[in-house]
Chain A
Amino acid sequence: MRSSHVPHPDTADFEQVTVSDVSRVYGRRRALAHVSLTCSAGQIIGLLGPNGAGKSTLLGLLSTLIEPSTGEVRYGDRTAREAGAALRAQVGFLSHDLQLYPELSARENLEFFAGMYSLDRPAERVGEALTSAGLADRADDVVEGFSRGMRQRLALERALLHSPRLVLFDEPFTGLDEAACVALVMRLRALRTARRIIVLATHDLDVVDGLLDHAIILRRGRIRELGDGRSLRERYRAAIVDRGGGRRPAGPDGGGVTVARPVKAAEEHTA
């Protein structure tokens, strides 16, 4: 297992990511408002919420590529700006678009990133990654011809190639069939055992039910408390339906959307 890999000496390792009172504003649009949370090693944290709730922005912030407008994100005791490139070596990001070059083969894609991360024993690690993606026999085919599932598996291995401490997933289950979902869940559990910090944004509540150590619900850029209920889906629904009965005033940006709509959007995605 690659979990035994000793981190690169010049990387800034950490055991905890602390987001304190972070807001991110784009002009008049507030993508995130006063978000605080702590993610510790060996935890899987789920970011749930309707489309446009700020999940991707939060992932971007955690990945260091987006800077907070106010508040700060600390990795261990350092901020992204203090730690710079050394910290980025500890971040793995599987975004919705898979960050692969379709013209290159599976092996070339992995080799390129192995080079960019200056990994030791690159050929060996690329080989291992291809095996665990189940692509060993298609390693030299260009990614263009791969199915969504195959690309997804390759992209996952690419994101984990450098054994990052913090692993971020944006909708990792979309486009995966049942078997692939199960495999990914197992992979996530293994990462948890390897004391990674895993944050995943998802709509697939049934798949992640029972997997998450923490579920964070975002709505309009704010964190909401999980509601009561037996399954994650019930608790999510309880949280997302405004308990105040929709007393939110209508803002000029159409802020008065009916409270039921976001849930419906989430369901459409799960279907």
Chain B
Amino acid sequence: MRAIETSENMPENSEGRGQLSMSKRLFPVLTVVSLFLFVTAPIIIVRAPYESTMGLVQKIFYFHFPSWMAMFLAIFILGVASGIYLFRRTPAADRLAVAAAELAVIFGLMGLITGPLWGVKAWGVWWQWDARLTMAVILELILVAYLLLRQYGGAGSERLAAGLGIFAMANVPFLYVSTEMWRTVHPRTSVVPTLPVEFGIPLWWSFAGFIVLCLALLSVRSRLEEQRATLERLYLALEEE
């Protein structure tokens, strides 16, 4: 019986091990880089010039914008990984998708918290039906729905969640355009690339920090999911004894 057991687990294990060692090597590198970026970011942000109209509050922008970008990156990864899982049945793609969805929720929340903080100064109210904020809220809803489906969908819900993951990614451009046309009081996005250099450097610095952090968390989270799968396998093997 034991012989059969090991022969069954071999292919999955060897595939898993390859994955494991890759993310194992990747994680410390990414963590160190993002730590460096995050530790140095405040210094660079403080040195950046004081924006005249918004004052100190403007500096929220250095966190606000990058957290959105990290969320979009996570949604993109969620969509692509979902597609791969749905059509190739690669278990690793599914683990990446869960990790990406959870991270997208977290970075989205950061954006949703920093947004109104900025808004209360800029617009005088906490909540404004501004296009970007509205879009972020809807995306957040879709992502939470994804997690709810995984949580309460029962056995086999990974497959269904993968379908939803693709739909979530495909929805981004439509949400962007429709909320944009529906309502706009947000500072134009086009200001970002044309920002004066003194503002630009800290912005892109924190941008890099968030993206690397996102990738680091992604690798550690999908590794956790993978170890959970291994544990499941071991548990089943034990039960069979």
Contact = CB atoms under 8 A, between A and B. Distances in A.
Give yes or no for direct A-B contact (beta carbon below 8 Å).
yes
A21 B11 CA distance: 14
A26 B154 CA distance: 9
B98 to A, nearest CB: 14
Decide if the interface of chain A is mainly helix, strand, loop or mixed: strand
Interface of B: 4, 8, 12, 155-156, 232, 235-236, 239-241
A21 B4 contact: yes
Nearest to A70: B8
A30 B232 CA distance: 10
A184 to B, nearest CB: 33
A9 interface: no
B4 A27 contact: no
A21 B232 contact: no
Interface string A3-30: 0000000000000000001010111111
Interface in A17-60: 21, 23, 25-30, 33-34
Given A21-B4, A21-B8, A34-B4, A26 B239 contact: no
A242 to B, nearest CB: 14
B241 A28 contact: no
Nearest to A249: B241
A229 B156 CA distance: 41
Interface string A67-79: 0001100000000
A115 interface: no
A28 B236 contact: yes
Contact of A28 (B4, B156, B232): B232
Kindly state the interface size class of chain A when it binds its partner.
Answer: 10 to 19
B232 A27 contact: yes
25 contacts: A21-B4, A21-B8, A23-B8, A25-B232, A25-B236, A26-B155, A26-B156, A27-B155, A27-B232, A28-B232, A28-B235, A28-B236, A29-B155, A30-B236, A30-B239, A30-B240, A33-B240, A34-B4, A34-B8, A70-B8, A70-B12, A71-B8, A249-B241, A251-B239, A255-B239
A23 B160 CA distance: 21
Which interface residue of B12, B156, B240 has the most chain A CB atoms within 10 A?
A: B240
Contacts of B241: 249
Nearest to B1: A34
Contacts of A21: 4, 8
B24 to A, nearest CB: 25
B46 to A, nearest CB: 50
Nearest to B155: A26
Nearest to A81: B89
Contacts of A29: 155
Contacts of B156: 26
